Amino acid sequence: MADGATVSAKFPKRILDPMDRISEVLFGLIMALTFTSTLGVVTAANIRVPTMLVAALRCNLAWGLIDGGVYLMARLNERGRNLIKWRAVRKAADANAAHRKSAKVVLVRLRPGKADRITPSELVIIFLLITIAISNRSSG
């Protein structure tokens, strides 16, 4: 980057939050039970446990690959949208326009629809608080 700023390409410490982890485990369990139950009904008297276990494992592996691909695509999409928004902030005509655009980027998650009504002095206070929080987090 021309201004000397660097962008970190490091992975986050925790890829999935605990609720997502629990959900993925439960979905895998439900899928394996559904698959083995269906196979048991279809084969009726000729149930072969090793065949059923291999089939359930393959089913879960296929689902894991699909789910992982969808997760990566969603993260890439999110990063791309954020990059476009921050580029718009950097290309703003003046400081007030940059503040407005950065307020939309930062505050849209906190208070949707209210980012346009924030005054420049409120923006300065918000960004100072964010800077303090980030510096405290990185030093602690």
Beta-carbon-side half-sphere exposure of residue 93 (alpha carbons within 13 Å) = 1
pLDDT of 135 above 80: no
Give the residue, 116 or 67, on which the prediction is more confident.
Answer: 67
Neighbours of 102 (CB within 10 A): 20
d(CA 28, CA 61): 9
Report the predicted TM-score, pTM, of the whole model to 2 decimal places: 0.55
pLDDT of 126 above 70: yes
Give the residue, 16 or 59, on which the prediction is more confident.
Answer: 59
Taking a C-beta distance cutoff of 8 angstroms, is the pair 92, 81 a contact? no
Each residue of 72-125: pLDDT tens digit?
898 899 888 888 877 877 787 777 777 677 777 776 666 666 666 777 777 778
Expressed in angstroms, the distance from the first to the final Cα of the chain is 28
Each residue of 22-65: pLDDT tens digit?
888 888 888 888 877 887 777 776 777 787 788 888 888 888 89
User: What are the helix (H) ranges across 1-140?
Assistant: 18-43, 49-90, 95-107, 120-139
What single letter denotes the amino acid at residue 114? K
pLDDT of 4 above 50: no
Domain boundaries, the chain: 16-91, 94-140
Residue 63: predicted pLDDT: 86
d(CA 12, CA 9): 9
Whole-number Cα distances in Å, 131 to 115, 126, 127: 18, 9, 6
pLDDT of 8 above 80: no
Q: How confident is the model at residue 11 (pLDDT cuts 50, 70, 90)?
A: low
d(CA 59, CA 28): 9
Residue 5: predicted pLDDT: 46
